[in-house]
Structure 1
Amino acid sequence: MFSFFLLNSCAANSENFKLNGISLVASRDSITEDQVSKIVEVNANSVALMPYAFMREKSDPELIYNIERQWFGERLEGIEHTIMHLKSQNLRIMMKPHIWLRNGDFTGDLKFSSEAEWEKFETSYRKYLMLYAELSEKHHLEILCIGTELYNFVKERPEFWNLLISDIRKIYKGKLVYAENWDKVDQVDIWDKIDFIGVDAYFPLSDQVSPSEDEIVEGWQKHKSMLEDLSSEYDKPILFTEYGYRSMDHALKEPWNSNRDISEPNHNLQARALKILYEEFWTNNWFAGGYLWKWDQHEGSGGLENDRFTPQNKPAENMIKEYYRKFRN
């Protein structure tokens, strides 16, 4: 039914195939074989690489990226180095450029006050995307994400996006996705032009401190119904371009919240929430898989003193390994 089964012949022959993804945090240094092996050990079969671009201010339309001050893993040479190591372990790759704004400003709210500023921003963004489109084609990467949480930009400038998609298609032969925030995914008009409906899936599921499995299932139902309807409307698979939970109380109330002063550790809730997510989504043929947010490269990441998103060295790591094994092909 859906084109994601054509990612390779192995996937095409497996009804159970899903993109068991992780979002790999770039490193100051080069990635090692041992670090890649840790990804394989949790039965992941795909990795999202995230070359960040920065803006001095949200009113400044010039993007800054691939500069010496960035970590090695975010620069072009570092990304190519990482690609080589991931491919050596037969991992699929999604290239997923992100814009980062200061002070926690949300990229979905980006908006410029004049046509000249919009055009300058579009020129800068196009150069940014085409650089990574060319890199993705050079290394035959399976998926390219053409934008991450840019609702206003997509809504306000449709001609730019239509042309950008067309031009990317001329040089890149893989699959395209756009990653929209969970609350705007049903308000985007470009799904018919790309291959996946991408969702950064931080849907609020429960106001409870530590909801039960049944409460989490109930919290998913209206969101799941909306996503299934959206997939049917466009005849495109849903891909969770990001998903994940912090290991703390109230983690499902505002799953996107990354504040550092609101938590009481709750590792079982993180594991429980992931279990329900896999059971609710990974078995559906309209669902392509997802990319866990997020995975660090150093071995001591996470742990029982850590309440952040990473599942490493927490009960959630075993949950991921168990469910990814079922869809590992």
Structure 2
Amino acid sequence: MKDIFVKGFTYGWNSSRGSYRTKQAVESLKKLKETGSEWIALAFYTYQETYSATEITFDYGYTITDRDIAFAVKQAKLHGLKICLKPVVNCKDGIWRARIGFPEEADFYWEKWFRSYTAFLLHYAELAEELGCEMLCIGCEMIGTESRTEQWSALIDNVRKVYHGPITYNANHGKEDGIAWLDKLDIIGTSAYYPVANEPGTGEETMMENWEKVKEKLAILHERFQKPILFVEIGCRSASGCATMPWDFTHTDLPFSEEEQADFYSSVMKVFWNEPWFAGFFWWDWSTELYPAEKAKTNTGFDIYGKKAEQVVKQWYKKPVIQKDRFHCKH
């Protein structure tokens, strides 16, 4: 039995082939480590053509390569970081991957898609095993697929034949309790983009009250499946109003507000840190190429480099985690 508490960030999302192997990426990873992080979620994606396509393809001109992944894993380990490998499928037509699906009666299409997705995932499960990655995430926010319990269960059984570390799945916030096969995982993961602000400028105290409501629901989920719960994604942009919609990346006209972002970070840390069933954070996200430090006060993205939220993370990530009565991960 092993305790896992993740003090981490997602690293390198939206990167293309070669991006992990640049001088800027190496320097960025060093700065990530300086936050007190102990983990990274190495998250990358390839495409299927449309939300209803049955084949997942590798784009040799764009997709992160195995060589890129091996380089990033080696660099991370040099800094003493553990790695959760997180391969993701996106839709080239721009439709959110949560919509991947077919008519319910179209079992033929589902079988083709799961055959392709299983092959995709087994490739990275083998790579995670070979590179010594300490966790594997087998999917992200794929709501339209989640009712296919038998196929997901078979996929997990196949993954376990080649990867022997802990396995998680990244559900979407508010949708976690609709997945019947969470008992097959070692850790239940979710994208915790819960809207904990009531309006722009909502303070930390109100956010904490709203996080308490989230915690009550997730405690019930833990009781049902007897698994630790990990925020595989969580974050909030440094822009006014973003704590009312932490998932948002489209409203680029919103004014800069590092206070709202910092309050979002601080409030959830205070509410969840010492819960015995809680397994930690992969904050969204840390880029391979950071903006210059002097531009931190005008950047309204998810990155926290040079912002107040970075100081919040440094303070919390230095804190010990109470191990007594903590819930154990199977692997």
TM-score of the superposed pair, with normalisation by structure 1: 0.90
Deviation of the 1:200 alpha carbon: 0.5
Sort the Cα spacing of 1:289 and 1:4 in 2 relative to 1 into closer, same or farther, 3 A. farther
**Distance (whole Å) between structure 2 residues aligned to residue 38 and residue 144 of structure 1:** 24
Candidates 220, 224, 249, aligned match of 1:233: 224
Structure 1 residue identity aligned to 2:27: D
Candidates 10, 14, 17, aligned match of 1:23: 10
Structure 1 unaligned blocks of 5 or more: 8-17
Candidates 43, 50, 57, aligned match of 2:43: 50
Deviation of the 1:186 alpha carbon: 1.4
Check conservation: 2:51, 2:99, Cα contact below 8 A. no
- Does 2:185 correspond to 1:194? yes
Q: Tell me which residue corresponds to 1:138.
A: 130
**Distance (whole Å) between structure 2 residues aligned to residue 275 and residue 4 of structure 1:** 27
- SS of aligned partner of 2:248: coil
Structure 1 residue identity aligned to 2:244: K
- Does 2:271 correspond to 1:280? yes
**Distance (whole Å) between structure 1 residues aligned to residue 252 and residue 77 of structure 2:** 39
Deviations 1:285-311 (A, max 9, x none): 110101010001224267111111111
Candidates 313, 318, 328, aligned match of 2:306: 313
Deviations 1:207-255 (A, max 9, x none): 2111111111111122110011211222111100000001111112111
Q: Tell me which residue corresponds to 1:180.
A: 171
Check conservation: 1:248, 1:270, Cα contact below 8 A. yes
Check conservation: 1:51, 1:75, Cα contact below 8 A. no
- Does 2:108 correspond to 1:121? no
Q: How does 1:55-70 map to 2 (within 5 A)?
A: 55-65=48-58, 67-70=59-62
Structure 1 residue identity aligned to 2:10: S
Q: Tell me which residue corresponds to 2:200.
A: 209
Deviation of the 1:181 alpha carbon: 0.2
Q: Tell me which residue corresponds to 2:285.
A: 294
Structure 1 residue identity aligned to 2:131: H
Q: Tell me which residue corresponds to 2:82.
A: 92
- SS of aligned partner of 1:51: strand
Candidates 56, 65, 80, aligned match of 2:70: 80
Deviation of the 1:31 alpha carbon: 4.8
- SS of aligned partner of 1:215: helix
Sort the Cα spacing of 1:249 and 1:4 in 2 relative to 1 into closer, same or farther, 3 A. farther
- SS of aligned partner of 2:29: helix
**Distance (whole Å) between structure 1 residues aligned to residue 282 and residue 256 of structure 2:** 23
**Distance (whole Å) between structure 1 residues aligned to residue 245 and residue 290 of structure 2:** 28
- SS of aligned partner of 1:216: helix
Structure 2 residue identity aligned to 1:134: E
Check conservation: 2:50, 2:95, Cα contact below 8 A. no
Structure 2 residue identity aligned to 1:296: S
CA RMSD in angstroms comes to 1.9
Sort the Cα spacing of 1:165 and 1:312 in 2 relative to 1 into closer, same or farther, 3 A. same
**Distance (whole Å) between structure 2 residues aligned to residue 34 and residue 251 of structure 1:** 28
Q: Tell me which residue corresponds to 2:99.
A: 109
